[in-house]
């Protein structure tokens, strides 16, 4: 309700009213408000009570908030912003990952592509989506940059809200699978530039990225 705008900024939240509305105990309401406070959605102050905070105070990188925004009135803005963020993060992560020749991690990436291939053949979009999310998360971890690694949850959330069967996006295909496999090849070769290019090709092929990917003159 907060993320959708039904409860605007500075709106007071009365625990007793919330408990009655959702038929839950005061303990449940108290813990729920603590979670929302940690995400920056509300603030609780003595003699003031709990109030909704403006969007500028929210932790917009929180996976829960990403999901809530993606399935609410701000759906298009959220997906565009996620796409722009992925276009910035993942090609860089692929370039950096090519410099870390960890065979165990590369084998795990290959395992995910194999799982995606089996899922694709069986029309199992849920399994495909989970393996896809793990692939991208592992790749970011392989980059060896802790700040980038901290953002892996954002990429996972982005894939869940943009690639799941409930979103109405195009179904995964062999082309997407081939792009994933190409990324693994470039990592094995230690070719950072090729890995970055392969990741951009994968992102470009995603239907959600059509309005995010720069035009030919902007690509390098």
Q: Answer yes or no: do 74 and 138 share one domain.
A: yes
Indicate whether 5 belongs to any domain. Answer: no
Q: Are residues 50 and 69 in the same domain?
A: no
Continuous segment of H or E residues that includes residue 50: strand 49-52
113 and 78 within one domain? yes
Q: Return the CATH number at 45.
A: 1.10.10.10
Q: Give residues with Cβ within 8 angstroms of 101, minimum separation 6.
A: 188, 190
> Are 79 and 51 contained in the same domain?
no
Average pLDDT across the chain, whole number: 86
Residue 52, pLDDT > 70, answer yes
Instruction: Give the total number of structural domains in the chain.
Output: 2
Q: Give yes or no for residue 209 having a pLDDT over 80.
A: no
Sheet strands side by side (includes 49-52): 12-13, 49-52, 42-45
The answer on 102 and 47 residing in a single domain is no
Residue 131 lies in a domain: yes
Average pLDDT, stretch 165-190? Answer: 78
Asked whether residue 154 is assigned to any structural domain, the reply reads yes
| Rounded mean pLDDT, 65-85 | 86
* pLDDT score recorded for residue 205: 77
pLDDT for residue 220: 45
pLDDT in tens, 125-172: 889 988 998 999 999 989 989 888 888 877 877 777 665 433 334 467
Domain extent, residue 36, equals 12-57
84 shares a domain with 20:
no
In a shared domain, residues 53 and 22? yes
Look at residue 140 and tell me if it is in a domain: yes
d(C-alpha 116, C-alpha 110), whole Å: 10
Predicted confidence band of residue 194 (pLDDT cuts 50, 70, 90): very high
In-domain check, residue 3: no
Instruction: Tell me, yes or no, whether 183 and 78 share the same domain.
Output: yes
Distance from C-alpha of 155 to C-alpha of 138, rounded to nearest angstrom: 11
């Amino acid at each position: 309700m907060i993320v959708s705008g039904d409860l605007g900024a500075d709106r007071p939240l009365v625990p007793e009213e919330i408990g009655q509305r959702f038929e839950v105990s005061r303990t449940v309401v108290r813990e729920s408000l603590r979670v929302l406070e940690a995400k920056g959605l509300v603030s609780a102050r003595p003699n003031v009570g709990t109030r909704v905070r403006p969007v500028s105070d929210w932790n917009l990188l929180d996976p829960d908030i990403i999901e809530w925004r993606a399935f609410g009135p701000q759906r298009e803005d959220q997906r565009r912003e996620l796409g722009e963020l992925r276009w910035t993060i993942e090609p860089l992560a692929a370039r950096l990952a090519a410099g870390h020749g960890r065979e165990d991690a590369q084998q795990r990436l290959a395992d995910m592509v194999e799982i995606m291939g089996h899922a694709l053949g069986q029309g199992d979009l849920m399994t495909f989506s989970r393996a896809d999310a793990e692939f991208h998360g592992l790749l970011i971890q392989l980059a060896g940059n802790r700040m980038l690694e901290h953002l892996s949850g954002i990429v996972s959330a982005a894939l869940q809200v943009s690639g799941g069967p409930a979103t109405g996006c195009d179904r995964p295909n062999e082309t997407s699978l081939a792009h994933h496999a190409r990324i693994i090849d470039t990592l094995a070769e230690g070719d950072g530039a090729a890995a970055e290019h392969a990741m951009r090709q994968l992102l470009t092929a995603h239907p959600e990225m059509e309005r995010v990917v720069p035009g030919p003159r902007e690509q390098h």
